[in-house]
Amino acid sequence: MLGYYLDLALRSLKRNQVLTALMVLSLALGIGASITTLTVFRLLSGDPLPQRSSQLFYPQLDPYPIDQPFSRSGKMPWLMTYIDAMNLVHARKAQRQAAMAMTQVKVIPMDAGKKPFFSDGVMTTADFFPMFDTPFQYGAGWSGADDDSRAQVVVIAGFLNDKLFGGANSVGRNIRIEGHDFRIVGVLRHWEPEPRFYGLRLGGHDYGQGDAVFMPLQSARADGMSPQVTLSFGPESTDVAHLENASSIWLGVWVQLSGAADVSAYRTFLSHYAAQQVSLGRFQRPRVSLSGLTQWLDDQGVVPDDVRLQVGMAFGFLLICVVNTVGLLLAKCLRRSREIGVRRALGASRGAIFAQFMVEAAIIGVAGGVLGLVFAELGLWGVRQQPVEYASLAHLDFGMFAFTFAVALVASLFAGLLPSWRACVVAPAPQLKIA
> Is pLDDT above 90 for 44?
no
Residues 287, 62 contacting (CB under 8 angstroms): yes
pLDDT confidence of residue 433: 52
pLDDT confidence of residue 176: 94
pLDDT (mean) for 50-75: 92
pLDDT (mean) for 419-434: 58
Report CA-CA distances (Å) from 408 to 172, 360, 362, 413.
55, 13, 9, 9
pLDDT confidence of residue 231: 93
Q: Which residue has the higher pLDDT, 218 or 206?
A: 218
> Is pLDDT above 80 for 341?
no
Vertex 99 angle, CA 98 and 103, to 5°: 130
| Average pLDDT score over the chain | 86
> Is pLDDT above 80 for 387?
no
pLDDT confidence of residue 427: 57
> Is pLDDT above 90 for 162?
yes
307 in helix, strand or coil? helix
Q: What percent of the chain has pLDDT over 90?
A: 45
pLDDT confidence of residue 337: 61
pLDDT confidence of residue 431: 47
**Digit-coded pLDDT (tens) for 303-340:** 777 778 888 888 888 888 888 887 877 777 666 666 66
**Digit-coded pLDDT (tens) for 93-140:** 999 999 999 999 999 888 777 889 999 999 999 999 999 999 999 999
pLDDT confidence of residue 412: 78
pLDDT (mean) for 162-178: 94
CB crowding 339-359: b at 16 or more within 10 Å, else e = bbbebbeeebeeeebbbbbbb
Q: Which residue has the higher pLDDT, 40 or 1?
A: 40
pLDDT confidence of residue 141: 96
Q: Which residue has the higher pLDDT, 175 or 4?
A: 175
pLDDT confidence of residue 422: 66
Residue 386 binned pLDDT confidence (cut-offs 50, 70, 90)? confident
> Is pLDDT above 60 for 434?
no
Residues in the chain: 435
Report which secondary-structure segment, H or E, holds 296.
helix 293-299
- Distance from CA of residue 23 to its chain's centroid? 34
pLDDT confidence of residue 128: 97
Residue 302 binned pLDDT confidence (cut-offs 50, 70, 90)? confident
Residues 197, 299 contacting (CB under 8 angstroms): no
Q: Which residue has the higher pLDDT, 181 or 311?
A: 181
pLDDT (mean) for 211-230: 94
> Is pLDDT above 50 for 34?
yes
Write down the pTM of the prediction: 0.79
Residue 9 binned pLDDT confidence (cut-offs 50, 70, 90)? low
pLDDT confidence of residue 346: 59
Q: Which residue has the higher pLDDT, 37 or 277?
A: 277
pLDDT (mean) for 201-215: 86
Q: Which residue has the higher pLDDT, 269 or 406?
A: 269
> Is pLDDT above 50 for 416?
yes
> Is pLDDT above 60 for 426?
no
**Digit-coded pLDDT (tens) for 73-99:** 889 999 999 999 999 999 999 999 999
For residue 254, which of 431, 111, 7, 52 has the smallest C-alpha distance? 52
> Is pLDDT above 50 for 260?
yes
pLDDT (mean) for 237-248: 83
Residues 160, 108 contacting (CB under 8 angstroms): no
**Residue 1, Cβ density class (10 Å: 0-12 exposed, 13-18 middle, ≥19 buried):** exposed
> Is pLDDT above 60 for 194?
yes
